[in-house]
Amino acid sequence: MGEQTTYYAIFDADSSPERPLGVFRRVKTDEGQTDEVFSRNLRWEFSPLLYSAERGDTMYDFTPISTEEANQIVNRMRARAEVGE
């Protein structure tokens, strides 16, 4: 199978498609899958959020997005961190 990565924009009641809350990725390999969020520490870190949403926790919404869209969100988060937002 190799590696397959799916990206998601994360939304809550206060976010929008133009300014999602964050970005999430699910990486599937022959060994299993790993779920990660791009954190405030500006790195990919394990997160159970998507797994929880799949089991009925509706605190956040996840919308599949392209790799390019995910990169744009990550770059915006990095830029905001640089200016101290």
Query: At residue 79, does pLDDT exceed 70?
Result: yes
pLDDT at residue 57, rounded to an integer: 80
Identify the domain containing residue 58 by its residue range.
Answer: 4-82
CA-CA distance, 19 to 45, in Å (whole number)?
21
State how many domains the chain has: 1
- Sign of CA pseudo-dihedral 65, 69, 73, 78: positive
Alpha helix segments (H runs only) across 39-66: 49-54
Token pair of 25 as six digits = 């990725």
| Confidence (pTM) | 0.87
What is the per-residue pLDDT across 12-68, written as a single tens digit (0 to 9) for each? 989 988 889 999 999 999 999 999 999 989 999 999 988 888 888 878 899 999 999
